[in-house]
């Protein structure tokens, strides 16, 4: 057995960690500048300078600036999936509670980003991502509805995929209105608005209890 194998493995691991750190530095620098200046007003050179790397180094990690939009979306998706997985492992809430948790998590993700939301949402739309990327939020909602149908909590006749897209439409529409509101979004709680819209919709898809007596 070659004695230098552990050293080679360790060396490769260290290189990968260093690459990950540079990627993180580039990503964080980009998000900082996008929040301050806007997406279109920030160049690749400025991102590289802020990250203290050569301009060419940027392209070792991102083929183009637009790839940062995809990376932003992927991180938001991972945050949503992690939160929902933790919620499922800690308890077995009913369908409405799961949908509320999903909406609450989405609102927290956006609220935590502060001034970054507007420039990134604008760039996301201009780049055509709402049409081209996988509608993962709709699928997340649809899976929750499907589980509710299996437990008899949601009307078995409704189309879970359609409900998923309807909930996604509610989320995105509310998010766009929230991001465009002025004066620090005073008086507009993203989480409260999403939960209120969800409650109004769920009342129409919940399984109807059997009633006795005259109708």
Tens digit of each residue's pLDDT (9 = 90 or more) over 179-213: 887 544 556 789 899 989 988 887 766 665 554 44
Provide the residue ranges of all domains of the chain, joining segments of one domain with +. 1-65, 66-208
Segments in the chain forming alpha helices (H): 5-37, 44-51, 55-58, 67-90, 95-113, 117-126, 129-132, 136-150, 160-180, 190-202
**Residue 24 Cα distances to 17, 71, 116, 169, angstroms:** 10, 11, 17, 31
Confidence of residue 8 (pLDDT cuts 50, 70, 90): very low
pLDDT of residue 183: 46
Percent with pLDDT over 90 in the chain:
60
Residues of the chain with pLDDT > 70: what percent?
83
Mean pLDDT of the chain: 86
Find the mean pLDDT for residues 13-18: 84
**DSSP line for 165-199:** HHHHHHHHHHHHHHHH-SGGGTT--HHHHHHHHHH
Average pLDDT over residues 151-158: 90
Please state the CATH superfamily assignment of the domain spanning residues 66-208 in this structure: Tetracycline Repressor, domain 2 (1.10.357.10)
Q: b/e string for 172-196 if b means 16 or more Cβ within 10 A? A: bebbeebbeeeeeeeebebbebbbe
Two domains, one topology: 1-65 and 66-208: yes
Q: What is the pLDDT of residue 48?
A: 97
The whole-angstrom separation of Cα 202 and Cα 100 is: 10
Among the four given CATH numbers 1.10.1270.20, 1.10.274.100, 1.10.3720.10, 1.10.357.10, the one describing domain 1-65: 1.10.357.10
């Amino acid at each position: 057995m070659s004695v230098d194998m552990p050293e080679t493995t360790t060396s490769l691991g260290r290189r990968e960690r260093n690459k990950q750190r540079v990627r993180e530095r580039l990503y964080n620098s980009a998000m900082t500048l996008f929040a301050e200046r806007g997406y279109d007003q920030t160049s690749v050179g400025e991102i590289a300078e802020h990250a203290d790397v050569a301009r060419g180094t940027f392209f070792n990690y991102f083929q183009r600036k637009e790839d940062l939009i995809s990376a932003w979306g992927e991180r938001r998706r991972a945050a949503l999936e992690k939160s929902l997985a933790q919620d499922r492992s800690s308890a077995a809430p009913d369908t409405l509670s799961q949908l509320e948790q999903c909406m609450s998590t989405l609102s927290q993700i956006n609220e935590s980003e502060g001034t970054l939301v507007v420039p990134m949402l604008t760039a996301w739309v201009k780049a055509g991502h709402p049409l081209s990327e996988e509608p993962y939020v709709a699928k997340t909602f649809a899976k929750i509805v499907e589980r509710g149908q299996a437990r008899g909590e949601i009307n078995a006749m409704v189309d879970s995929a359609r409900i998923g897209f309807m909930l996604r439409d509610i989320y995105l529409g509310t998010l766009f209105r929230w991001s465009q509101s002025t004066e620090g979004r005073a008086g507009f709680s993203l989480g409260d608005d999403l939960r209120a819209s969800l409650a109004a919709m769920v009342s129409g898809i919940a399984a109807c209890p059997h009633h006795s007596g005259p109708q």
